[in-house]
Amino acid sequence: MQANAEITPLWHDICAESELISNSGICALIDDQQIAIFTLDLAEGRTLYAVSNWDPVGKANVIYRGIIGSVGSEPVVASPLYKEHYSLISGRCMENDGVSLMVYDAQIVDGRVQIAI
């Protein structure tokens, strides 16, 4: 079981679903890690995305305060500092190959938001 726990990321309970902000972001602290959680609400339903909150270009913990949107068909967040766009799916930076965000799994279970790291 020990080995298994190392590969399977652990789901962390974060907050109630009602704390999410529609089409915008919030931030969670898990151990020492800051995670930005975005909520995309479309007619088809709600999708959660979780990425690291550290802006690798601006060097500040601000990603969750960025505007979300799309580039082509890919959902992205724009850094509020210098406006680089990061894919919410892969964490890739559209303007700068040298940097990226970490991506995490996020889910809603029984009205609670959970993140796996």
Partner 1 sequence: MVGHHFVEQLVSSQYACNITVLSGEKRLAYDRVHLSSWFSGSNASDLAMTDEQTYQQWGVNFELDAQVIDIDRVHKTVSTATKTFSYDVLVLATGSYPFVPPIPGNDQPHCLVYRTIEDLEAIEASATESKVGVVVGGGLLGLEAANALKQAGLETHVVEFAPQLMAVQLDGQGGDLLRQKIEDLGVTVHTQKATQVIEAGNDCRYRMVFADESFLETDMILFSAGIRPSDFLGKKAELAVGERGGIVINDQCQTSDPNIYAIGECALWENRIFGLVAPGYTMARTVAAQIAGGEGAFTGADMSTKLKLMGVEVGSIGDAHGKTPGALSYTYHNQPDGVYKKLVVDATQKHVLGAVLVGDTGDYDTLLQYSLNGIELPQKPESLILPSAGEQPALGADALPDSATICSCHNVAKCDITQAIDSGCCSLGDVKSATKASTGCGGCTALLKNVVDSELEKRGVEVSKAICEHFDYTRQELFHIVKVEGIRSFDDLLAKHGTGLGCDICKPAVGSILASVWNDYILSQNNLPLQDTNDTYLGNMQKDGTYSIVPRIPGGEITPEGLILIGEVAKKYGLYTKITGGQRIDLFGARVDQLPDIWQTLIDGGFETGHAYAKGLRTVKSCVGSTWCRYGVQDSVGEAINIENRYKGLRGPHKIKFAVSGCTRECAEAQSKDIGIIATENGWNLYVCGNGGMKPRHADLFATDLDTQTLIKYIDRVLMFYVKTADRLQRTSVWMENLEGGLDYLKAVVIKDSLGMAEELEGQMQLIVDAYQCEWKTTLASEESRKRFRQFVNSKQTDSNIQFVDERGQIRPATEAEKIAGEARIPVEVI
Residue type, 41: D
Site string for partner 1, 26-55 (x = CB under 8 A): xxxxx-x-x--x--x-x-------------
Residue from 11, 56, 57, 78 touching partner 1 (CB under 8 A): that is 78
**Are 65 and 58 contacting, i.e. CB atoms less than 8 angstroms apart?**
no
Q: Does 93 bind partner 1 (CB under 8 A)?
A: no
Which residues have a Cβ under 8 Å from the Cβ of 54 and sit 6 or more positions away?
Answer: 34, 60, 61, 63, 101
Told to check if 105 binds partner 1 by CB under 8 A, we report no
d(CA 85, CA 68): 9
Q: Give the Cα separation of 94 and 35 in Å (integer).
A: 20
Which lies closer to partner 1 via its Cβ, residue 9 or residue 41? 41
Instruction: Return residues touching partner 1 (CB under 8 A).
Output: 14-15, 19, 21-24, 26-30, 32, 34, 37, 40, 42, 58-62, 65-73, 75-76, 78, 80-81, 83, 85
